[in-house]
């Protein structure tokens, strides 16, 4: 499993937050 770098982790959270917003709306 690839270790997350800072950019990967930031992207992961942005995708999760975006997905959460789409679920709410």
Going from N- to C-terminal start, the domains of the chain cover 1-25
Confirm if 20 and 12 have CB atoms less than 8 A apart.
no
Residue 4 has pLDDT above 60, yes or no: no
Task: Name the band, by pLDDT with cuts 50, 70 and 90, for residue 19.
Answer: very high
Rounded mean pLDDT of the chain?
A: 78
Buried b (16+ CB within 10 A) or exposed e, 5-24: eeeeeeeeeeeeeeeeeeee
12 Cβ contact partners less than 8 Å away, ≥ 6 residues apart: 4
Q: How far apart are the first and last CA of the chain?
A: 33
């Amino acid at each position: 499993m690839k270790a997350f770098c800072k950019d990967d982790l930031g992207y992961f959270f942005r995708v999760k937050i975006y997905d959460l917003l789409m679920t709410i709306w």
